Amino acid sequence: MFKSIVINKDEQGYQAQVKEVDDSILPEGDVTIDVAYSTLNYKDALAITGKAPVVRSFPMIPGIDLAGTVTASDSDKFKIGDKVLLNGFGVGEKHCGGLAEKARLNSDWLIPLPEAFSPRQAMAIGTAGYTAMLCVIALEKNGVTPDKGEILVTGANGGVGSFAIAILAKLGYTVVASTGRLDQTDYLKQLGAAEVIDRNTLSEPGKPLARERWAGAVDAAGSHTLANVCASMQYGGVVTACGLAQGMDFPASVAPFILRGVVLAGIDSVMRPLADRIEAWQRLAEIIETADLETISTDISLDQAIETAQALIAGQVRGRVIVDLGANK
């Protein structure tokens, strides 16, 4: 038996509970892992609260991230005792995930835990930090260098936003953070933001083209925010879109793209090829320092995860949430 969050949907409705389960709940896979740490991402919070149809089958163990130790393996890629890391691949949505003391997974989804990080540190980064790094790499590959001008980060208090600010600042970019929680200005400036603006300046319907300002952007909001970000890009600017905190819609025009040559780069972290994952984690190991992780992250136990998921959806959680699967052992 092991402890897990289990989501069910039946005649009594949609329910998420912390409970003891046995191995029969685990799906097929060629590697079994003793999970040391997981995380609580926005997608996990949507799954736990049922605020969006994230979970595709029931019962389901949520958790799109995990780090732990291989305890059984039928794969030639990993052996017992190996430290491994998982981000995405539909885990926690279609395949039981990381918010449990044990997981059984496909070895093709795993990467070795980077030597620079402990399992806890890797989960302080998690999908949010890994996604932020993918966004920064996309800006770089599209020619956005620090001398080009300001980089806007929306959803700045969230996990992706927090890491995007920290990474960009360490690479020498001038970062402007957009947030609905101006009381967190000191936190955002501690991460490296040069300026903090109210998200309301971007979240309402705007013009097809606005004054040129941003050389690049990392957007976790979508909807009107993303449309307004695109409208206010410099000529040849690059927007990386990785989230939908405001909405899945994109009420924009083609004007920024055909009149200013703006590039809109979609950032998917879930099904990213292995080479891209390894590149992103190698870059994170080069850039991120232990002090950054302590500033951005908070630790909770599995028993606290459901309540914390509700707070995350309500916009009351800052940065990253690490779930310690050994906290109650």
Q: How far apart are CA 106 and CA 74, in angstroms?
A: 10
Nearest to 109 by CA among 33, 52, 216, 168: 33
User: Are 151 and 218 spatial neighbours (Cβ–Cβ below 8 Å)?
Assistant: yes
Place of tokens 């055909």: 258
Instruction: Specify the CATH number for 127-266; select among 3.40.50.300, 3.90.1150.10, 3.90.950.20, 3.40.50.720.
Output: 3.40.50.720
Q: How far apart are CA 39 and CA 300, in angstroms?
A: 9
Mean pLDDT of the chain: 95
| pLDDT, tens digit (0-9, with 9 covering 90-100), for 125-134 | 999 999 999 9
Q: What does each C-alpha distance from 77 to 69, 132, 302 come to in angstroms? A: 14, 27, 29
The C-alpha angle 204, 140, 219, rounded to 5 degrees, equals 20
Q: pTM score, two decimals?
A: 0.93
| pLDDT, tens digit (0-9, with 9 covering 90-100), for 36-66 | 999 999 999 999 999 988 998 999 999 999 9
Length of the chain: 329
Q: How far apart are CA 323 and CA 59, in angstroms?
A: 21
Using the predicted structure, report yes or no on whether residue 328 has a pLDDT greater than 60.
Answer: no
Q: How far apart are CA 223 and CA 186, in angstroms?
A: 27
Place of tokens 């980077």: 114
238, β-bridge pairs = 216, 263
Amino acid at site 248: M
Using the predicted structure, report yes or no on whether residue 90 has a pLDDT greater than 90.
Answer: yes
Superfamily of domain 2-113+294-324: Medium-chain alcohol dehydrogenases, catalytic domain (3.90.180.10)
Using the predicted structure, report yes or no on whether residue 19 has a pLDDT greater than 90.
Answer: yes
Q: What is the pLDDT of residue 11?
A: 84
Domain boundaries, the chain: 2-113+294-324, 127-266
The mean per-residue pLDDT over the stretch 228-245 comes to 97
